[in-house]
A and B are shown apart, each in its own frame.
Chain A
Amino acid sequence: MNLIKLRKFWYLISLLVIIPGLVSLFTKGLNYGIDFTGGSLIEVKFERPVTPGEVRPLLVELRLSEGSRIQTSAGNTLLIRTRDLSQEESDRLLKGLQQKIGTLELLRNEKVGPAIGKELRNKAFLSLAIAFALMIIYITIRFEFRFALAAIAALFHDIVVTVGLVSLLGLEVEGAFIAALLTIVGYSINDTIVIFDRIRENLGKRKKEPLDEVIHNSILQTLARSINTVLTVIFCLVALIIFGGVTIRAFIITMLIGVISGAYSSIFNASPIWYDLRRLSTS
């Protein structure tokens, strides 16, 4: 028995993660933040704890309550999301909060016009497509086209897993999400290439061995490295999640999902897919 013979089992595990994510993606969709939808986000800190109930009437009074969301968090912090506010409206809201609740410190005040979100989404698709194309070219030059296809298939896996789980977990999707996805792409391909590189080397040395054995051994030879590297990256990411503050938490969790998926797909998907591609093209 080897890793390649078990490949249907590995594909199945991937599907078990991908399908719930996809279902969530098509039913619930993504929890787009104001970067994508347009709108305003105001974060203020008071001297005493506040509840959303105290703030709601003010929003109604200012006619900002439609589609708004109020969140409170530790440290007397209040997060208000509303539609795209003009400077006057945001001034009125801040003044109202000061009068009704008390002295406040403005932590963040963000406003994104609705046109920006559409541009951002288009840019995201475009940059992913270009990154994919460039990587296919590089891998084809350094390895061969089938390696490139298998690596890109593994990347698709990572993106679908990440986007699906982000939808399932309801993580907020902001502009930095694109950066997270592209970093995942970079990481995952890096991981895959290390294994492919070993397969390429072993193919030259072990011509008599069956292909699945060669791949199996190549994966085993690089396994310690794969695990250790993903561990060190996870150390950094977990430290960032726990100590890094709320503003980048969704970004880092997204990255964590992607990096784990990337490590899995490099070991259990990329090489088996390459094996299947090679069998298809030689038979």
Chain B
Amino acid sequence: MAVKQTQQKKSPGINWVEIGKLTLLVLLVSGLAVGLAKPLAGQLQQHLGLDLRGGVHVVFEAVPTPDTPVTADSITRLAATIRNRVDALGVTEPVIQPEGTRRVVVELPGVKDPEEAVRLIGRTAHLEFKTEDGKTVLTGKDLKDARAQLNPASNEPEVLLKFDKEGARIFGQVTTANVKKRIAIYLDDKLLTAPVVDEPIPTGEAVIRGGYQTLEEAQREAVLLRSGALPVKVQLMEKRSVGPLLGKDSLERSLWAGIIGVALIFIFMILYYRLPGLVADLSLIVYGLIVVGIFLLIKATLTLPGIAGFILSIGMAVDANIIIYERLKEELKTGKTLRAAIDAGFHHAFRTILDANVTTLIAAAVLYYFGSGPIRGFAVTLSIGILTSMFTAITFTRFVLHLIARSRLILNPKAFGPGLGEVKA
């Protein structure tokens, strides 16, 4: 009798230890997803691209003139001058970088008035002091400082200029030689004021007045003068400014699109693949957490095409699971046990997934190499998505399926998809 009993026990029952592990895992993943959703979203908000938070992207191209040919050095100086001006604007996280041999790309996220910013950055701010015979005696490069102030006597806004040592010396000479004559001050070839010299000025200080309506206006000019003249003539090649309103709208809309798209995938996978479909959904959550984690780690900038790339990559991430499950079903149909079918399914599926994804990665790499700005962001998100989906499909999905098999919790073949015969543990 005792022997018979042990023989009966051999028929496999539910393995509670594995079910415990499975429950823990499900709780862990859903807990992580719920707990991390808000902090991760908050973190991501700090890496939004211009199109999502508003801001401006401009490309300046240096135009050679007979006086100032465009050289590598002049582009470096151009970028430096632009950086000075941007810093004076107080923009956080600006991007200023030379592109190619003649261009400088400037990105200013989150500026309140993008138009004004572009106007200020691109201004040539070429300051000239001319004597009555039209000779330029001093330029902006002799300048040490420029400050806006209200004239103590007339309460009019004005800009106080201080020349450097050499500039002060020349200014002293010029004012000595031109007493009772006019010295004209030009900014960007526009006459600002032409005061009469009453007496020689040896201190190297001068005042521009008469051209400003408000103190702010004088301050802007002072910023331009302080940060120096652009070393070359520039042309605005490209400008894309996005107001904060549109940025916010785009972000909300793409978030909704993402949530709905993903929800549809989740439902579809459960309806079509049943239990493994549920596992795929779980695996997609892990996928999402990893991808967002990588985005934060590499400080990827999230743009609208980038989000589209991410959402698309979720659609493609399911593909790895689908390939595996279709294989799994085939293996089950040949009469293999569940565990053997899982192993065989993964073995066959992996080669397919690898070959299929490498070719997509090639396209993404080409996009990254030749694209710029948002297209690069799209390529990066797409590539991270592809690599992560391969990883989660062959590690997480496989692990959970094995847990289910070992737990012997579900043996009804219908749980693995319609049209299957008996499933053996």
Contacts and interface: CB of A to CB of B under 8 A. Distances in A.
B115 A109 contact: yes
Interface stretch (B41-49, B253-261, B406-414): B253-261
B261 A229 contact: no
B197 to A, nearest CB: 34
Contacts of A231: 268
Interface string B338-365: 0000000000100110011111111111
A106 interface: yes
A251 B355 contact: no
A251 B369 CA distance: 20
Nearest to B352: A197
A5 to B, nearest CB: 25
Contact of A113 (B236, B258, B304, B382): B236
A138 B351 contact: no
A280 interface: no
Interface string A245-268: 101100110010000000000000
B253 A139 contact: no
Nearest to A42: B241
Given A127-B366, A235-B315, A240-B257, A247 B245 contact: no
Interface residues of A, number: 70
A142 B364 contact: no
B190 interface: no
Given A87-B122, A186-B362, A189-B363, A179 B238 contact: no
Contacts of A3: none
Interface in A105-123: 105-113, 115-116, 123
Contacts of A186: 359-364, 382
Contacts, number: 219
B326 A245 contact: no
Contact of B382 (A43, A115, A183): A183
B323 A131 contact: no
A244 interface: yes
B224 interface: no
Most buried by A among B59, B316, B374: B316
A187 B316 contact: yes
Given A182-B363, A193-B352, A113 B235 contact: yes
B314 A193 contact: no
B261 A240 contact: yes
Interface stretch (A48-56, A63-71, A218-226): A218-226
A74 B308 CA distance: 24
Given A113-B235, A116-B238, A240 B370 contact: no
A182 B352 CA distance: 21
B115 A127 contact: no
Given A107-B245, A111-B238, A232-B315, A248 B304 contact: yes
B138 interface: no
Nearest to A44: B243
B128 interface: no
Contacts of A86: 236
Contacts of A239: 257-258, 260-261, 264, 311
A134 B366 contact: yes
Contact of B254 (A43, A115, A244): A244
Given A190-B356, A233-B315, A127 B370 contact: yes
15 contacts: A110-B239, A116-B59, A116-B237, A130-B366, A179-B378, A186-B359, A197-B355, A201-B348, A240-B254, A243-B260, A245-B250, A245-B253, A245-B254, A248-B305, A251-B308
Given A179-B379, A225-B322, A229-B315, 7 more contacts: A127-B369, A134-B365, A190-B316, A228-B272, A244-B254, A245-B253, A251-B305
